[in-house]
Amino acid sequence: MTSQPRAVVQTPPLECLNVPRGVSDCACKALEPTFPLSRDPSVVGRKKQLAALSSSEVSIREASVVPQDGRRMKDLQVECSPIVVRSVHDNVSTISERLVLLAEIDGVHVGFCVSFPGPQDSDPLFIQIVAVAPNAQRRGVGLTLLTKAAEREPLRDIALATQKINVAAREMNGKFANSIGASLQQVNLGTYRDSDLGIQRGMGYRSWVIQRLPVEP
């Protein structure tokens, strides 16, 4: 994981076309962290919370279309390289268009997952992002996020992509496939649209499908 490309920090777009109804752009901008991050009080406070996480179980909830959850996603994007860091506003747009699940331990956000079903019934569930804060990794949070996202679409196959060098993600996906009695099968890039997988070409991605077993009559 150490040699992965650095996350790309994006500045908020000057003009946002997908402003979710009822969410003000100003409210989103007000929640952007201040730089340097080491002096942003909310970032400093969060570091302390993450360092003091208990062994309590993780809980999963659906993100709401509010700036605060957009900021929670941003906190995690900053912490979880190589996930792309987006503006709070863009994250709120994502929440309004996709299923975003937030994982929390002791009320602290420790992970998130972005997924959506393709438009046709025969399309898979696309899982675009799973990210878990380093302090909360290797305790089943990523697997729980995948499981909860998949439960929303029990009849669909599941499509996702991982970078070749991302051993953790590939191993997690394989373990998840096993947990539902299936296997992770590599498919050609181009089987699914890059935008559905949430990837860019030339970044070493591999594309995978997990085929659901037919439901017994």
Ligand X SMILES: CC(C)(COP(=O)(O)OP(=O)(O)OC[C@H]1O[C@@H](n2cnc3c(N)ncnc32)[C@H](O)[C@@H]1OP(=O)(O)O)[C@@H](O)C(=O)NCCC(=O)NCCS
To ligand X, the closest distance from the beta carbon of 49 in angstroms equals: 17
Of 168, 180, 182, 189, which lies in the binding site for ligand X, with binding defined by CB under 6 A? 168
Q: In terms of CB distance, is 92 or 169 closer to ligand X?
A: 169
Whether the CB-CB separation of 143 and 62 falls below 8 Å is answered with: no
Choices 41-49, 91-99, 126-134, 187-195; region in contact with ligand X by CB under 6 A: 126-134
Distance CA 178, CA 160 (A): 15
User: Which residue's C-beta sits nearest to ligand X?
Assistant: 142
Name which of 28, 15, 6 is nearest 84 in CA terms. 6
Cis omega (within 30 of 0) on the bond before 36?
yes
Exposure letters 6-32 (e unless 16+ CB within 10 A, then b): eeeeeeeeeeeeeebeebebeebeebb
Site string for ligand X, 26-65 (x = CB under 6 A): ----------------------------------------
To ligand X, the closest distance from the beta carbon of 83 in angstroms equals: 5
Task: At 172, list the tokens.
Answer: 């997690």
Where on the chain is the footprint of ligand X (CB under 6 A)? 80, 83, 129-132, 137-143, 162, 166-169, 171-172, 175
